[in-house]
Each structure stands twice: as C-alpha cells, then as structure tokens.
Chain A
Amino acid sequence: MKRLASVDTQAPKPGFWTRIAHPGLFLGWSGHLVIPLILLTAGLMAWGLYLAFLASPPDYQMGDTVRIMYVHVPTAWLSQFCYAVMFVSAIGTLVWRHPMADVSQKAAAPLGAVFTAIALYTGALWGRPTWGTFWEWDGRMTSTLVLLFIYLGIIALWRAFDDQLKAARFVSVVTLVGAINIPIIKFSVDWWQTLHQPASVFRLDGPTIAPEILLPLLVMSGAFSVLFLTLHLVRMRTEIVKRRIRTLELAAARAAGGAQ
C-alpha cells in the first residue's frame, strides 16, 4: 500500500511538447545547448573564412568580388529564413496560443532586421564593381528593402504595447500578412526583368555553381545559420527572464500598494 501511495503522489514526467512549451523547463534544457552552439558557430565560421579567402579561386567572370558572395548569400538566406521562423511562430501564437511561440517571434525580429540590412549592404558593395551601381530599383532589391521595413515595423509594434500577450496577437497578424513578401522576393528574379541573377544554389535541377565556389558558400551559410540559431536561443532565454521581471515588478507594486 505504501508503495502504491508513493506512486500516486509522484508528478508525471513532462513530455517532449511540455518541455518545449513550459518557459521554466525551456530555460533548463536550452542552457545546455548554448556553449556547443557557440563552439559550432566559431568552428564553421573559421573554416568558412579560410575557404573564402585562402582556399577558393577567383570567379572567371567576377574575379575576387565573388568573395563578397560568401557573406551576402548567407545573410540574404537568413533574412528570409528568419521570417519563416516568425511565420511559424505566429501560427503557433494565433492557433495554439503556444507560450513559447510569441517569445520566439519577438526574439527573431531584430535578428531578421540585422541580417536583411547586412544582405542589402553587402549586395550594394558587390553591385558597384559588378553592375556599375550600388542600387537599382529592381524587383529583388526593392522587395528585400520592403522586408527590412516590415521587420522594423514589427519591432516597433512589439515596443508599442505594455501587454506583451496582446502585442503577440497583433504582431502575429501583421507577420502573416507580411509573409506575402517572401515569395515575391524569391520569384522576383523570374517574374520581372532584373539585374539580379536568377537562383543558382536552390534549384530543382541542382546548383549551377562550380564546386570550388559552392563549398565556401555552403560552409559560410551553415556558419551564419548556426549563429542565427544560437542568437535566437539566447534571445528567447532573455525574453523569458524579462517576462519574469515584469511579473515580479507587478507583484512588488501590488505588495507595495497593499501595504499602504
């Protein structure tokens, strides 16, 4: 009987989804991932930079300016991947009211804005020697600039609300509407006459890039992707702590009000 009683009082072990959904449990398991992710980012970045500067040839047409592609393509890819993360998180907020979904959305927005800005900056620096201009109002560049403005608008919207749960629902709707820009960026080079080259890595018939140039491109893309995952995880952890601070401050204010 004693044994049965002890079993009855034991709390059930949290399942996989509970461990992800519960902010306290998330802080516990995600803490073990930060250092391995930092080491993986540093290793991939060092290998990528070695390949980019020392172990890859100049392109037969672009010459050495092809090396700008090793930072431009990964950041351009992340500008869209980050939005995809926010899109899935927005669905999580609106459909399932997942407690971590709005934390994920809020943590991703500044990262997306920074990677989009870097993609535009490095693209302009590549465009000047290659096309003869820093900027052209063509489909790909204009839609990427619009993406940057969407990110900045979403960041401003998060800051406009004191109640972050209410903000999450507004931001989720804006994120879902703004997602229309992602296929426009992707297919702009096929739909309109543009200076920007069509897709050369993610193609149904495989990449059209020489292997000596494709390898540093993929390694740098991997390095920047793991960097994004690391920063996203750390920023999610910080956001959970900030929400705890908000709760503690409200409790302290209530206690101070009750004591008067």
Chain B
Amino acid sequence: MIALGQHWEFIMAAYLGCFAVVGALIGWTVLDGWRARARAATLEAQREQQRAARS
C-alpha cells in the first residue's frame, strides 16, 4: 500500500474524480461515434435501396 500521508483522502478524491470524469468523457466519445456511424450506415443503405427501386 502506498503511504499518502495525512491528506490521503484529498489525493484519492482528486485522482478518482479526475479519472471517473475522463472515463465518462471517453465512454461518451466512443458511444457517440458508434451511434453516428450506425445511423449513417442505415441511411446510406436506405438510399441505395431507393435508388435500386427507382432504376
């Protein structure tokens, strides 16, 4: 166990808070990207179907 001195709770709160927020930011960024790519793929497929139906 690392000895963090008498103010260990401030140090742990700083790191846990920081990495929780950074983790949430990474998760949101990845999820947002996935959702956008899935939506774009659906719309592209619909457009191709409409083109094929017209021709």
Binding site for B on A (CB under 8 A): 53-54, 58, 63-65, 67-68, 71-72, 75, 110-111, 114, 117-118, 121-122, 125-126, 128-129, 227, 231, 234-235, 237-238, 241-242, 244-245, 248-249, 251-252, 255
CA distance A241 to B35 in the complex (A): 10
Provide 18 A-B residue pairs closer than 8 Å at the C-beta atoms, listed in order of the A residue: A64-B3, A64-B7, A65-B11, A72-B14, A110-B25, A114-B21, A114-B22, A118-B18, A121-B18, A122-B14, A125-B17, A126-B10, A238-B32, A241-B37, A241-B40, A245-B43, A248-B47, A251-B47
Let me know if A122 and B47 touch, CB within 8 A. no
CA distance A249 to B21 in the complex (A): 33
Known contacts A121-B18, A241-B40; can you find 4 more A-B pairs with CB under 8 A? A71-B14, A126-B14, A231-B29, A235-B29
Binding site for A on B (CB under 8 A): 2-8, 10-11, 13-15, 17-18, 21-22, 25-26, 29-30, 32-33, 36-37, 39-40, 43-44, 46-47, 50
Let me know if B40 and A67 touch, CB within 8 A. no
